[in-house]
Structure 1
């Protein structure tokens, strides 16, 4: 197994836990609450992260499809006219795809990781699968940080690392 994927899977596992910690005890009304009309809310952030894990899975051969594929497809930004799903079913989708995707990521060979991707990733230049996975893991950090900040803004305890 390639050492780079091992390191990325450590981050993947850490994000899996932090994602759940961010959603802990969030009331449904706060999940849909936005600081301004220009910001995302927790339900969109959580659902978008689920969508990204499903999309990564599809790009490496998985056939699983999210229940919320239509709402979040093509990395569509938050839509003002949509009431997003509650966190319970979003979290269930996260828990469903996460172990399946992890197992598939573990099975990737060095050749798989260096294979061309149909698009370039920001800041990483010409993309291969490894760069794509690296970017997605970084993007998860960014979104989890936003959810953690929204927790504090709405008066919840800080996200826990344990």
Structure 2
């Protein structure tokens, strides 16, 4: 992908966005569907939930730019809902399909985002931030989630994540 944003504020964020788009797929490589929903007798979020929350986040952010698409995550993750014990989460294949659908669309609107758009108010429960701040937070969170999946890989007996 070419990173040449209208707003120079987004240059570094877009590089990370592109990396995260690829790294999520790499982090999920080879994980079977049964393992993706294991919590290993903990209350930790499993891989399917972590992945679903990332997919939901990109679709939700895209709405700020007028991209109104449905995702397999719409119901289970609405209102930033936490993990639900005994819920049947979407398969990794289905989540990857939605990830691969929204990511190029969101990338395109981010490249073309104006300073005025980035300064728009973005409502978050309990506070108000700018759209730029939300994009920044989402980018940080994606990195955090990919790291959690990389740790789950090792806990479940898979090889480490391949970044290449």
TM range (shorter): over 0.9
1:90 equivalent in alignment to 2:92: no
- Higher normalized strand content (fraction of residues): 2
Distance 1:81 1:120 in 2: 27
Q: Does the residue aligned with 1:117 lie in a helix, a strand or coil?
A: strand
1:35 equivalent in alignment to 2:37: no
Match for residue 138 of structure 2?
A: 136
Residues 100-156 of structure 1 show CA distances to partners (whole Å, capped at 9, x for unaligned) of 1111111110111112222389xxx86111111000000111111100000011111
Unpaired runs of 5+ residues, structure 1, are: none
Distance 1:146 1:71 in 2: 20
TM-score, with length taken from structure 1: 0.92
Please report how far the alpha carbon of residue 35 of structure 1 lies from its aligned counterpart in structure 2 after TM superposition: 2.8
Match for residue 117 of structure 1?
A: 122
TM-score, with length taken from structure 2: 0.91
Q: Quick check: 1:8–1:137 contact (8 Å CA) kept in 2? A: yes
Q: Quick check: 1:57–1:63 contact (8 Å CA) kept in 2? A: yes
Match for residue 148 of structure 1?
A: 150
1:45 equivalent in alignment to 2:47: no
Q: Does the residue aligned with 2:134 lie in a helix, a strand or coil?
A: helix
Match for residue 58 of structure 1?
A: 63
Q: How many residues align?
A: 159
Match of 2:19 among 4, 14, 17: 14
Aligned-residue CA RMSD (Å): 1.6
Q: Quick check: 2:7–2:111 contact (8 Å CA) kept in 1? A: no
Q: Does the residue aligned with 2:161 lie in a helix, a strand or coil?
A: coil
